[in-house]
Structure formats: C-alpha cells, structure tokens
Amino acid sequence: MSARRSRWAQQLAERIRSRRLTVGVVGLGYVGLPLAVEYARKGIRTIGFDTNTEKISLLVRGMNYIRDLDDSVVADCVASGTLVPTTDTSRLSDCDVVFFCVPTPFTTNKDPDISFILAAARDLAEHKRAGQLYVLKSTTFPGTTRKHVQPLLEEPRFRCGKEYFLAFSPERVDPGNKVWHTGNTPIVVGGITPQCTELACAATGLAIEHVVPVSSPEVAEMEKLLENIFRSVNIALVNELAQLCDRIGINIWEVVEAAATKPFGFMPFYPGPGIGGHCILIDPYYLSWMAREYDFTTNFIELAAEVNEAMPYYVRDMIIGQIARQPVSLRTARVLLLGMAFKRDVDDLRHSPALKVAELLRREGVSRVDYYDPYIPSVVLFEGTPQAETLHSLRGLRRAVLSRYHVVCITTDHSCVDYPLVAAASRVVVDTRNALRNIRQRSNIVLLGDGR
Ligand SMILES: NC(=O)c1ccc[n+]([C@@H]2O[C@H](COP(=O)([O-])OP(=O)(O)OC[C@H]3O[C@@H](n4cnc5c(N)ncnc54)[C@H](O)[C@@H]3O)[C@@H](O)[C@H]2O)c1
C-alpha cells in the first residue's frame, strides 16, 4: 500500500487483511450468487442483495437456483448465517466491500442499457458510508465506472480514493464449465486511483486465486469487451466458413479439428445455430455504440454480428429444406428442437438462437414446433405480443415420440441426451452442433457445414 493512503484506506486494508469484513453482493444471478457463495464458504460475512423477491425468498429458505452451485453449499452458507440474502438496501451500509453484478442488457435498438447499474448506484448513494470499497462487475462500455457511477457517489466530503474507493473488475464466469469456475478464474481489476486498485485486488483476492491489476477502470472495462468480441468474431468466421463448406461439400468440423492440431497460433471455434446468452451477443454492441460517439465504425463487430445473427435463418432454411423433401406441407409438418438453452448443459434461455429458430419456423407457417430440454421447463415465443404462445415441452425422449416428427433439429447439444437413440429413431436429424459425430449410420443426418 502506498505511503499516502488515507485513514479510511488503512482501516479497510486492515479489515481485508484480517478477513474481519462484511462483503455485499448486489444482484444474485449467474454472476452474483456464485461470487457471494465463494466469499461465504470461505467464512466471510456476506450479504446478498437482489430486487427479485422470488430469488431472495428461495435463498432465505436455503434453496439454490444456479445449476453450477452445489445445493448443500448454498444451504449451509445460509443456515450458518455467513450468507444473508435480502432485498433491504439499507443493509448496504453494513458492508465494507460491495460488488455490483446487475444486468447490462441492450435496448430494442441494440444500444447499451445501463439503467440497472445506475439504479443500484443510486441505492448505494442513499446508504453509503465512509471507508467502503465499491467494485462494479457488470460488463459495460469504457467510462461507465468513472463517468456514470462515480458522479452518483461523489460529494465534497465523500471523495473517491479518500473516503471511499471505486474499481471495475469484469466477471469471467462461464456457466456449465466444469474446470474454470468463479474461484479459480483469474480476475482483472482496475481502480479509479492506485489505492482503489490495491484495495479492490486485496478484497478480490480473498475469494479468487489470481488477481490481475491494471492501470484504470477503462482498461478493465475494455479488456472484457475485447474478450467477448474476440469470441464473437471467431465464431462468425467459422460460421461463415461452415456455409461455404456446405456449398463446396467439405466437412467444416473435420477442417477445424485438423487445424487445431497446430500447437501454436490457432484456437478452435465451432459453428452453430447462432450465438446467445447475456454476453457474447450483447457486449460487442456496447463498444460499437460507444465508437459512434468517436466517429469510428467497428467493422469487425458489425460484420461478426451480421454473420452470427443470420445463422438461425440459415438453420431455418435447412429445416424447411428437409420438410420439403417429405410428403408433408409446412402447415402440417412437425418439428422437434432438441436443446433450447443458448449453450450446452446450462439452463439459460436468454437470447438463445434456438428461440429464434422456433420463431422463424412459426412465422413460415410450421404449426407444430415442440422442444425437448431437460433444463428449460417452459418456452414462450413472441412474448408480450398478442401472438404469444407456449411451446409444447417433451418430458422424455422415446423412440416412438421421436419418430413422430418430420425433422428433429439439434439446436443445443446437452450432454445428457441419448444421441444414438435420436439418430436411430428420427426420420431426419438436422445437427447444428455435430452432436452425432460418433454415429456411423448417417443417411438421415444433415450436418451444418458438411455440404450433404
Ligand atoms: N452470465 C454470465 O455468464 C456472465 C459472465 C460474465 C459477465 N456477465 C455480466 O455480469 C452481469 C450480470 O449478469 P448475470 O448473468 O448474472 O445476470 P442475471 O440476470 O442472472 O442476474 C442479475 C441479478 O441482478 C438483479 N438486479 C437487477 N437490478 C438490481 C438492483 N438494482 N439491485 C439488486 N439486484 C438487482 C436481478 O434481479 C438479477 O437477479 C452482466 O453485466 C453480464 O453481462 C455475465
């Protein structure tokens, strides 16, 4: 810690060092609840805040709603009182360190919507006290922490780096990942002042194994966007090549596997029905929106979005092409979508490309679109419109049930599905994930990106 640290900085540093502090986590979703549990299970008093009363009432009863978390760990943290879930924002003043993990969606025009961050910051402004550290973790455009959050907190006698401390530290949790989780994934931290960075690194280090300091919140905000844009651009590249391979008659999956044998300079990405979730689809738009303010066009971001967002249309056309080969009209055809979550082994439906495929099929007049996804209990299409409809959900996959559909489309390759049964029992399978790669008998299988 630097020599000119304030009295408040010294006090907070000592609390962190001795682990006698209270941590607050605002927003207990896919990011916030695992983070809160990570602190609580290490014996650190943690208060979890959420505006969603259903989530809080589940947690108060020791019940978990995040698949990656162990139910018994959540129950133990709550029962022992190390994790206190609440909707009461006045308890923000009890916390020494507060992490903000609220949503950052986009508007219907795909502009950033930081209203959740601003609402949470206003709650904080009402209950703030000297000696606290605030760490924003929600993905957002560079400058959010300094230009939008700091002004809501700053007062003549409540100054950043003196009476309070503020940093940005992006989240990297990858739901469904069995190797990398909240505790062992390195985390980047950038504070408004060097002391803010030091304190935020120390507080983060209580729960996270590797902490990487950077020189400012803007660097931390931008590096998170780079991570997600990197994924978006590379997925778009392979999605485009999959379409080309379909024309040429080369199997893109084999091409990627072959390229991946290069031990340096190549990282495999795979095609699919499009991208979804709360990150890779949305975050690049945060930067392209900001770039416009600087008269700059982010060509890679725009092009990647265009290619990725066209994929559900491509998959729709593959399905309709397979219906057309059978003695059935679109109106009477039955289609089953296997996997509605946006990626394998998660229960997250947000912006899932499978939803888009279902909507596009219904718009084309396919009257029967059902789905099977053990992690998604119900799916509503055209939500909030007069045409809103709930898709029929299959409870289990049986041979007789599969054979009823004219096309079964694998939109998400959950690992719990019996794929040999799917291949054997279905009339036609459109496989957008190469889930049937180990199946020998392939005459009824149409694979995205292999040209057959
Ligand atoms: N989901 C991921 O895999 C992931 C990964 C890395 C980063 N992120 C980023 O982390 C942030 C959170 O994402 P998430 O997936 O956890 O979202 P989420 O929707 O699962 O959780 C957000 C929670 O915040 C709550 N909330 C909203 N406003 C609030 C307020 N004012 N006070 C208290 N609680 C409030 C919501 O009720 C919800 O429970 C986003 O910026 C996202 O881009 C997400």
Q: How far is the CA of 101 from the centre of ligand 1 (A)?
A: 5
The 3-state DSSP class for residue 449 equals coil
Q: Which of 25, 30, 141, 347 to mutate to test the pocket of ligand 1 (most atoms within 8 A of CB)?
A: 30
Q: Which fold has domain 234-447?
A: Rossmann fold (3.40.50)
Strand partners, 22: 45
The full set of domain ranges for the chain reads: 7-215, 234-447
pLDDT in tens, 337-374: 999 999 999 999 999 999 999 999 999 999 899 999 99
Residue 230 in tokens: 């990197």
Q: For 366-443, where are the E strands, in sequence order?
A: 368-372, 379-381, 389-393, 407-410, 429-431
Residue 233 in tokens: 């651009």
Look-up of token digits 């997925």? 235
173 CA closest ligand 1 atom index? 5
- 200: exposed, middle or buried (Cβ count in 10 Å: 0-12, 13-18, 19+): buried
Residue closest by Cα to atom 20 of ligand 1 = 29
The residue type found at 26 is V
pLDDT of residue 451: 84
The answer to whether the CB of 447 is under 6 A from ligand 1 is: no
Residue 368 in tokens: 């029967």
Exposure string for 31-66, b = 16+ CB within 10 A, e = fewer: bbbbbbbbbbbeebbbbbbbbeeebbebbeebebbb
Q: How far is the CA of 380 from the centre of ligand 1 (A)?
A: 21
- Which pairs with CB-CB distance under 8 Å and at least 24 residues apart come from 114-122? 114/140, 114/144, 114/148, 116/27, 117/144, 117/148, 117/149, 118/148, 118/149, 118/152, 120/26, 120/27, 121/148, 121/149, 121/152, 121/153, 122/152
pLDDT in tens, 59-105: 999 999 999 999 999 999 999 999 999 999 999 999 999 999 999 99
Residue closest by Cα to atom 18 of ligand 1 = 29
Instruction: Return per-residue pLDDT of the chain as tens, 452 residues.
Output: 454 778 999 999 999 999 999 999 999 999 999 999 999 999 999 999 999 999 999 999 999 999 999 999 999 999 999 999 999 999 999 999 999 999 999 999 999 999 999 999 999 999 999 999 999 999 999 999 999 999 999 999 999 999 999 999 999 999 989 999 999 999 999 999 999 999 999 999 999 999 999 999 999 999 999 999 999 999 999 999 999 999 999 999 999 999 999 999 999 999 999 999 989 999 999 999 999 999 999 999 999 999 999 999 999 999 999 999 999 999 999 999 999 999 999 999 999 999 999 999 999 999 899 999 999 999 999 988 998 999 999 999 999 999 999 999 999 999 999 999 999 999 999 999 999 999 977 899 999 999 87
pLDDT of residue 80: 97
Alpha carbon distance 290, 272 (integer Å):
29
pLDDT of residue 100: 98
pLDDT of residue 210: 97
Alpha carbon distance 12, 16 (integer Å):
6
Q: Which of 26, 50, 342 to mutate to test the pocket of ligand 1 (most atoms within 8 A of CB)?
A: 50
Active-site residue numbers? 279
Angle at Cα 139 formed by Cα 138 and Cα 144, nearest 5°? 85
pLDDT of residue 452: 75
Look-up of token digits 């969603």? 52
7-215 belongs to which CATH class? Answer: alpha beta
Residue closest by Cα to atom 24 of ligand 1 = 27
Cβ atoms < 10 Å from Cβ of 297: 11
